[in-house]
Structure 1
Amino acid sequence: MRGPGLSALFGTVGSAMSLTPLDTFYPPLNQTSYITNSSAGTYGGFYRAGTHGPTGGAPYGTYDYCAMPHPRKHELPSEASGAKLVKLSYLQRHQRRSPYNILPGGENQAYHCDNVRPYLYAGPNDSNGIQPMPVYAQTYQDPNDPFKTGVNSTCQFPQITIGGIEDGYQHGKDIWDVYHTKLGLIPEEPNERVWFRSSDSALVQASAGAVLRGIWPEYKGSLPLHQMVTSVDTVNEGFSCNAISSTLDKIKSTDKWTEHMKATEKLRSELGSMLGADDISWQETFDHFCDNFQARLCNGYELPCSVSNSSQCVTMKMAEEVFRAGDWEWNYYWRTNEYATKYIQLVEGLFIGEIVDDLKATQDGTSSIDYRHTFIHDGDIGPILGALGINALRWPGMASNIAFEVWEKEKSYYARVLYSGHPVQSIHGSLDWIPLSQLIDILSPFIPEDITALCG
């Protein structure tokens, strides 16, 4: 399934504003007037992709929610003369997927995932042992099922889609072109100096498989994808911490948050009435509406209509305001609210500590890993960008990525931090070529001294 042309979807907002690709990452998000300013449209961003990928059409480097840009050989910022890349810590969100949030009033379109095989099997680490049958999940619906979900689907919610797999493979190929062919860091085959990690999400693990196959298309072996024990995982809010929810409650009690809720009251009411989504989980933030609309548009589907009245449909203008509100919320969570530092410490501080320890090991010459790749979620990418002091934070789109590069020149270490292929523009300046010690100093205040005490 293919959607209409990009210009038909978004008009000439990008050209009218004369936005460069980099500009599209940094909207004026500090004021709630941005949300209700319909002339802003998508602020030059893209929210549409076909069923199949990899995506194309957006000028490279533009904020493209469905498949965020990533380092590519021909667009990579130039490195300093005489410098050598000695470490890459690459973080990325999974590729595009079906939604988490199904409309309470029912979905007017069927979701199809029978073109994807989510494999589910386990085997011994001894190649001479019993080898399992490579079974995969095939979702179906019993027509006599008494629990009617309102969704006719062969998808689980969420799961990686065929476009996500194809995007992931291309993402991996581009990583290879940059960090093996051009910069010589990634080895010909996986060895003891590469290390991979993911959250415990099957969706994220499936995305990792696609990306890693793009990096090493001819490799015949298997690879370990490290995960922490779920109850203590330092990504994806894996560990229990009461202070996370209590701090979020404080954020949502501020005057600025109240102003944002008042500004969007009419839109939330209209959507809630049309789509049967008027309970608190859909009305207290724009998370659920954004997720549902984004997943539709990013996989070749249309915006939803009422199940009971097919003439009542979400318009692109309404969706654009939803997306602007979602961007505003993410910027407020991780950048501009008065509790942002504590909130980042609680949600992501332990993982930020792992990043800093890895950078310090490279600086001290004790690191045993040259290439570290971690597959995570938007809820991890956001607070890390907040800790870096990014000037404006839009919702980190599908496959959004942060590359921490460490370079050595004349026995000194320097860092470059790329967000979706661009050097991060932050309150500390452009994180393009800075002393490694400065990057460590930027991140260190977000590492909790005592997480158990902070969590209460």
Structure 2
Amino acid sequence: MSRFSVGIAIGLASLSPVLGLTPEETFYPPTLNDTAYISNSSIGTYGGTYQAPTTGPTGGTPYGAYDYCSMPHPRPQEYELPDALKQGHVWGKLVYLEYLQRHQRRSPYNILPGGENQAYECDNVRPYLYAGVNSFSGIQPIPMYAQTYQDPTNPFTPGVNGTCQYPQITIGGIQDGFQHGKDLWAVYGERLGLIPRQPNERVWFRSSESALTQGSAGAVLRGVWPWYQGTLPLHQMVSSVDTVNAGYSCSAVGNMLNAIKSTPEWNEHITVTAELRSTLGSMLGAESGSWQSTFDHFSDNFQARLCNGYMLPCSLTNSSNCVTMEMAEEVFRAGDWEWNYYWRTNPDVAKYIQVVEGLFIGEIVTHLQAVLNGTSSLDYTHIFVHDGDIGPVLGALGIDALRWPAMASNIAFEVWETNDNQSRYYARVLYSGWPLKTIHGTLDWVPLADLINIMKPYIPKDIVSLCA
């Protein structure tokens, strides 16, 4: 057995689900609001999985549990109709699906300042880079793809050997995406008849400007339509005014984030994790403020390693001084706590969501309102975004507890037309395949107008004034 195989086997044993938890319960740690959640080593990963081999697709064990490497999604083996339809209380037909998802798994954003002790290899992925014209009679370019290499005459080093850009979708991420799309087709195409057999004018796709979301879209939509030979538009806003992925400039975002990080609760979590941060910082040469002020960088680095078949990092000066699984688990719990605080429990959470994601939430509401008004020109919308977009949308919906929205996290807004006398349109919101549990109750079957009213307070009336 290779060194990598040994590391994976140890990781899988350490990251086994907490006994007694159902898959759905792994999404909602009851003590997540308390910093004791971070320091309680008996919690482990609270039933979550942070391990995957280099190649996929991953399936999770058991399927449906929180899986950082590839979150569960609607698939035919587990998908069930809303209870109201199953029990025959009403007749209903699915008439609209708004599907948001984070990109698939990738290499890390954050390379350790002291350098990485393992090489990342991406020769098995081809990021295509070319531009064509909107006419078959015009110039048709050669399909070019990026091939990363290092030249021995270059005196600068990237901090990690290998053939990846950082971040970059990995082979496992592409395979996960293809399976993700196949499962969506099986549920919303074959079973429910909403997604058409080939793309038409009633489907619409969007991504951020990131190659991660664009690459994920190509893999997922190929899974939806494996036989389709045409091209598809993937809509993107101009990056400087994009309403996802922190596109537009807004000084209020930074000001509010500074205020959030000055609260007693935030400072308590910094105190609780002081020893861990100091240990990791000295071991990995990661003692700067960007690595020590939050757990974003450590989490990202460790997650990307484990989710692509790599081992946790070791010191470059002492190869026997390595990050343990227990350290990584505490890092992941701290990351969960931070995300829950950002989007659920900080004192100014409503305004923070407004300035960060309110415009995008407004776009979702506009789509849903068009269905309610009977004026929608779309049946299926699929938007490829980032964890920083999924988190605030879940916060606006009032999720009971928010763990870090992991790779391929997804929110499905289903709209059903019914013969109910009280409301013609009902909605269901699935988060990674499960009806979303919120402070408003489980969003398994709510009048569409009520769902819109839940989200409306997070749409800013004047974002320009708020940002100024």
- Give the length in aligned residue pairs: 453
**TM-score of the pair, normalised by structure 2:** 0.95
Match of 2:307 in 1: 298
C-alpha spacing 1:226/1:276, structure 2 compared with 1 (3 Å): same
* Displacement of 1:65: 0.3
Match of 1:437 in 2: 449
**TM-score of the pair, normalised by structure 1:** 0.98
**74-83 vs 107-116, which deviates more?**
74-83
CA distance in 2, matches of 1:210, 1:221: 15
Say if 1:120 and 1:137, in contact at 8 Å, map to a contact too.
Answer: yes
Match of 1:14 among 11, 18, 22: 18
In structure 1, the residue corresponding to 2:220 is in which secondary structure? helix
Computed over aligned residues only, the root mean square deviation of the Cα atoms, in angstroms, reads 1.0
Say if 2:60 and 2:67, in contact at 8 Å, map to a contact too.
Answer: no
Say if 1:6 and 1:57, in contact at 8 Å, map to a contact too.
Answer: no
Match of 2:426 among 414, 417, 436: 414
What does 1:68-217 correspond to in 2, within 5 Å?
68-79=71-82, 80=85, 81=88, 82-217=91-226
C-alpha spacing 1:201/1:7, structure 2 compared with 1 (3 Å): closer
Match of 1:56 among 55, 59, 63: 59
CA-to-aligned-CA distance 1:413-443 (integer Å, 9 cap, x gap)? 0000000000000000000000001100100
CA distance in 2, matches of 1:54, 1:149: 29
* Displacement of 1:57: 4.4
Match of 1:318 in 2: 327
In structure 2, the residue corresponding to 1:4 is in which secondary structure? helix
Say if 1:35 and 1:324, in contact at 8 Å, map to a contact too.
Answer: yes
CA distance in 2, matches of 1:6, 1:407: 42
Say if 2:280 and 2:286, in contact at 8 Å, map to a contact too.
Answer: yes
* Displacement of 1:76: 1.4
Runs of 4+ in 1 over 2 A off after TM superposition: none
Match of 1:405 among 409, 414, 419: 414
Match of 2:360 among 332, 351, 357: 351
Can you give the 5+ residue segments of structure 2 that lack an aligned partner in the other structure? Answer: none
Matched residue type, 2:28: Y
In structure 2, the residue corresponding to 1:231 is in which secondary structure? helix
CA distance in 2, matches of 1:275, 1:6: 20
Q: Is 2:361 aligned against 1:364?
A: no
Say if 2:23 and 2:63, in contact at 8 Å, map to a contact too.
Answer: yes
CA-to-aligned-CA distance 1:239-287 (integer Å, 9 cap, x gap)? 0000000000000000000000000000000000000000000000000
Say if 2:18 and 2:43, in contact at 8 Å, map to a contact too.
Answer: no
* Displacement of 1:336: 0.3
Match of 1:275 among 273, 279, 284: 284
CA distance in 2, matches of 1:57, 1:220: 31
* Displacement of 1:177: 0.3
* Displacement of 1:75: 0.9
* Displacement of 1:7: 4.8
CA distance in 1, matches of 2:159, 2:125: 22
In structure 2, the residue corresponding to 1:345 is in which secondary structure? helix
Q: Is 2:16 aligned against 1:4?
A: no
Say if 1:53 and 1:166, in contact at 8 Å, map to a contact too.
Answer: yes
CA distance in 2, matches of 1:157, 1:121: 20
Match of 2:386 in 1: 377
Say if 1:244 and 1:347, in contact at 8 Å, map to a contact too.
Answer: yes
CA distance in 1, matches of 2:431, 2:10: 27
* Displacement of 1:333: 0.1
In structure 2, the residue corresponding to 1:267 is in which secondary structure? helix
Q: Is 2:27 aligned against 1:25?
A: yes
Match of 1:288 in 2: 297
CA-to-aligned-CA distance 1:71-125 (integer Å, 9 cap, x gap)? 0112113231421000000000000000000000110000000000000001001
Match of 1:341 among 331, 345, 350: 350
* Displacement of 1:405: 0.4
Match of 2:235 in 1: 226
In structure 2, the residue corresponding to 1:173 is in which secondary structure? helix
* Displacement of 1:4: 1.5
Matched residue type, 1:192: E
Can you give the 5+ residue segments of structure 1 that lack an aligned partner in the other structure? Answer: none
Match of 1:37 in 2: 40
CA distance in 2, matches of 1:419, 1:9: 26
**143-152 vs 225-234, which deviates more?**
143-152
Say if 2:68 and 2:406, in contact at 8 Å, map to a contact too.
Answer: yes
CA-to-aligned-CA distance 1:268-314 (integer Å, 9 cap, x gap)? 00000000000000000000000000000000000000111101100
* Displacement of 1:206: 0.5
Say if 1:391 and 1:425, in contact at 8 Å, map to a contact too.
Answer: yes
CA-to-aligned-CA distance 1:154-209 (integer Å, 9 cap, x gap)? 00000100000000000000000000111100001000000000000011100100
In structure 2, the residue corresponding to 1:358 is in which secondary structure? helix
* Displacement of 1:148: 2.3
Q: Is 2:408 aligned against 1:391?
A: no
Say if 1:120 and 1:134, in contact at 8 Å, map to a contact too.
Answer: yes
Say if 2:60 and 2:72, in contact at 8 Å, map to a contact too.
Answer: no
